[in-house]
Amino acid sequence: MPLLEVHNLKKHYGAHKAVDDISFSIERGSIFGLLGPNGAGKTTLLRMITGIFYPDGGQISFDGRPFKAEDDILHIGYMPEERGLYKKMKIGEQAMYLAQLKGLSKAEALEKVKTWFEKFEMQSWWNKKVEDLSKGMGQKLQFVTTVLHEPKLIILDEPFSGLDPVNANLIKEEIYNLAKRGCTVIFSTHRMEQVEEICDQIILVNKGQKILDGTVHGVKQEYKKNQFKVLTEEGIKLPASAQFQLVQQNGHEYTIQLAGGTSTNAVLEELIRNQVPVLGFTEILPSLNDIFIRLVEGTHATTRAFQAAS
């Protein structure tokens, strides 16, 4: 049974359809990537799932039951893209406060905060104020306050922005650990290499609509162009053939486009027959980045300038 199911979710602001009929489901313990250009409606979608906004139409079911904001938000941890903490508040008190608002008792909260602070080596910060922290430290604190109450669903909006590689790895490890322990993670980002690395399942949203849904592997298979990379020896030319077309040559590295219905073995056979020494033969799978750009640009419809993934 999926942890979260979304059916035909809609949210309109006047004539503007921020979220227009989106459905998907997320399996328990999986890491789910929510992708889309700026202004695609990701934040609105997440705000409906976290109970901040009421949908104009459609249903959300959480843990097998219809979503009820008051109770279910206790089992959700949300880290918005725009980080926010009380600047004048001491770090320990702040973590305790946010944990108690998630329904933890004072004793439970204290125990959890201590455990997490130890894990992230933050014990000595307890009496510091947030305004005295560096951006990266603030980010770590924000992550801790998000996952402190061991939510069933963790929603992270751009969790790695502003983190150095060491801290980014630390958080990535924690995300894996949480997923292993049964937490479900929704991961909203522009950074495709992280999505490829981390996510089990992705959806791509643009102009309030879902335009792609599947596993990372499945999506790549779906959008592959049947192109292959052939590595030969210096000075060898590939023969012209009806079975494939030459797309690009880079020294002794060729990119070929297979004609429809041609199998790889047939191509290899032909190459061998023509005395071409094949050193390497690999399929070129499109990167998520390519797919993303192809799909989003194809719609010619982004309201705001699209920021290329870095």
Partner 1 sequence: MNKTFIIIKREFLSRVQKKTFLLSTILLPILIFGLYGLIIYFSVKGEEDIRVAIVDSKGVLENKIQSDKTLSFTFLKQADTAQLQKDLVDKKYSGYILLPDSISRRDSLQYHTRNNVGLMTQGKIESRINKALEKSSLQTLLAPGVTLEQVETNKTKVDLKVSKSDGKTGNAGFATALGFICGFLIYIVLFIYGSMVMRGVMEEKTNRIAEVMVSSVKPYQLMIGKIVGIGAVGLVQFLIWGVLMLSLQLLIPVLFPQVMEQAGAAQAAVDQAGAAKSSMLTTIMNNLQSVNMFMIVGLFIIYFLGGYLLYSSLFAAVGSAVNEDPQDAQQLMLPITMPIIFAFVIMTQAINNPDGGLAIFGSLFPLTSPIVMMARIPYGVPAWELILSIALLIGGFLGTTWLAAKIYRTGILMYGKKVTWKELWKWARM
- Residues at the interface with partner 1 (CB under 8 A): 47, 50-52, 69-70, 73, 76, 78-80, 82-89, 97-98, 100-102, 105, 142, 145
Confirm if 99 and 148 have CB atoms less than 8 A apart.
yes
Confirm if 204 and 295 have CB atoms less than 8 A apart.
yes
The DSSP symbol for 54 reads -
Question: Distance between CA atoms of 71 and 58, rounded to whole angstroms?
Answer: 19
CA atoms within 13 A on the CB side of 133: 25
Nearer to partner 1, 82 or 234 (CB): 82
The DSSP symbol for 240 reads P
Least distance CB 165 / partner 1 (angstroms) = 25
Least distance CB 136 / partner 1 (angstroms) = 17
Nearer to partner 1, 153 or 198 (CB): 153
Nearer to partner 1, 28 or 83 (CB): 83
Least distance CB 45 / partner 1 (angstroms) = 14
Nearer to partner 1, 73 or 271 (CB): 73
Nearer to partner 1, 186 or 288 (CB): 186
Least distance CB 25 / partner 1 (angstroms) = 21
Question: Distance between CA atoms of 228 and 271, rounded to whole angstroms?
Answer: 13
Question: Distance between CA atoms of 190 and 11, rounded to whole angstroms?
Answer: 22
Least distance CB 195 / partner 1 (angstroms) = 23
Nearer to partner 1, 86 or 281 (CB): 86
Least distance CB 169 / partner 1 (angstroms) = 24
Question: Distance between CA atoms of 148 and 286, rounded to whole angstroms?
Answer: 37
Helix boundaries (H) for 129-245: 135-147, 165-180, 192-198, 216-223
The DSSP symbol for 307 reads P
Q: Give the sheet arrangement for strand 201-206, strand by strand.
A: 76-79, 153-157, 184-189, 31-35, 201-206, 209-215
Question: Distance between CA atoms of 246 and 252, rounded to whole angstroms?
Answer: 13
Longest dimension (CA), the chain: 77
Least distance CB 291 / partner 1 (angstroms) = 30
Least distance CB 17 / partner 1 (angstroms) = 16
Confirm if 153 and 186 have CB atoms less than 8 A apart.
yes
Nearer to partner 1, 125 or 244 (CB): 125
Nearer to partner 1, 87 or 294 (CB): 87
